[in-house]
Amino acid sequence: MRRVVVTGVGMLTPLGDDMESLKNGLLTNMSGVKYMQQWADDMADISTLIAAPITEQDFSDIPRKHRRSMGKVALMTTRSMQDAIKDSGLEEEHIKNPRTGMSFGSTMGANESLMEWISTVYKHNGFKGQNSMMFLKSMSHSVLANLAATFGVIGRAIPTCSACTSSSQAIGVGYESVKYGMSDIMFVGGAEGLHYLEAGVFEVMGATSTTFNENPILTPKPFDKNRDGLVIGEGAGTLVLEEYEHAKKRGAKIYAELTGYATSCDGSHLTTPSRKGMEAVMKASLQDAQLTAKDIGYINAHATATAKGDIEESHATHAIFGNKTAISSTKGYMGHLLGGCGVVESIIGIIALNDKLIPANKNLDEVDDACADLDYVREHREEEISHVMSNNFAFGGINTSLIFSRV
């Protein structure tokens, strides 16, 4: 099989917009979680008033002919792809090539556009005078469609809109496209823009953190006995995946090799996490990479700080790895980026490989007794490792597991 390597990286995250900033944010135990005054002003009965926004951005350099059909989620991903292309050194001939494709996902399109559009329709009881761009901003594959038009990508185009596994599935699709010879280069990733609509959805389900509004930096608390739910964040990321010999031939720098991927569905409950499903997808990813549990030096857990999710994930992980493999959830630093979490957490895994940084579990004060006996990283570790596993799990019982390796 053809080897697949990462040759470019771009991102917008609550901790920073490049690998150095992201690394430093982790090292300094920075929190991207903030009190959302606008939510308190706009919504009468929302209890979770904290979230993790990205830093203020200026998207005016994106040509208006493209920008006018983009909501925030597409704008953010466009910026991350601009940075990834620059980082990779790809030329126009590489980008606009039938052998170059893309796969991107988000939970939804632009929620702010969707809310404005629907509110106007209800207010006027009709569609007269509606902005024709509103649907293009809010449709589920808005990210991929806008990126393809903006950058002129004409190869494989696969949207992966699967909630919290959106961008990890996008990475997996790109990996398989290159590995099995359908593409030489794939742009992959995803994003989520911040909006109280998503926070409200999780709050209705009883899944959001609500007791730390006065001390936002103390939450979320993955695996901690006093965790009280997830915190919504926003972010975007793009990876350039490239066939190994193709990358070598053009002298590209290589960050890591993507050696394993698996995705599966629990086939049971829409929202209740499945220990069996999580365990199965991790085993399948190891099998795809032709590795054993002992080969993995660090696991970036999905763990969102929900009551049942963290417990089930910890036991699924223990069934394969025991308590010998370092594990942390980096959502304690920046909340849950939903459609953007898979790609950003993959980038953190790449940092772990290249910079010998195994990040600690932020806000983990006392491990919940109901969680399995794992090697929960309590302080940052400087350790050379060869393989990293990054796991994500989504509503609908959708599971993903990615393995990145040092070249």
Contact 393, 301 (CB under 8 A): no
Q: Which amino acid is at 334?
A: M
Largest Cα separation within the chain, whole Å, is: 62
Active-site residue 380, yes or no?
A: no
Contact 167, 339 (CB under 8 A): yes
Q: Could you give phi then psi for residue 60, rounded to 5 degrees?
A: -65, -15
**Cβ neighbours around 149 below 10 Å, total:** 14
**Cβ neighbours around 171 below 10 Å, total:** 33
Of residues 94, 246, 336, 387, which has the active-site annotation?
336
Q: Cα angle vertex 164, ends 255, 73, to 5°? A: 80
Q: Cα angle vertex 148, ends 181, 183, to 5°? A: 5
What Cα–Cα distance (Å) separates residue 79 from each residue in 86, 152, 272, 373?
11, 15, 35, 41
- Residue 332 in 3-state DSSP? helix
- Residue 166 in 3-state DSSP? helix
Of residues 94, 161, 164, 195, which has the active-site annotation?
164
**Cβ neighbours around 20 below 10 Å, total:** 11
Active-site residue 164, yes or no?
A: yes
Output b/e per residue, 34-70; b: 16+ Cβ within 10 A. Answer: bebeebeeeeeebebbbbbbbeeeeeeebeeebbebb
- Residue 250 in 3-state DSSP? coil
Contact 335, 32 (CB under 8 A): yes
Active-site residue 302, yes or no?
A: yes
Spatial distance between the Cα atoms of 302 and 245, rounded to a whole number of angstroms = 32
**Cβ neighbours around 2 below 10 Å, total:** 12
Spatial distance between the Cα atoms of 67 and 73, rounded to a whole number of angstroms = 11
Q: Could you give phi then psi for residue 394, rounded to 5 degrees?
A: -130, 160
Of residues 94, 195, 246, 302, which has the active-site annotation?
302
What Cα–Cα distance (Å) separates residue 270 from each residue in 36, 124, 398?
29, 35, 9
Catalytic center residues: 164, 302, 336
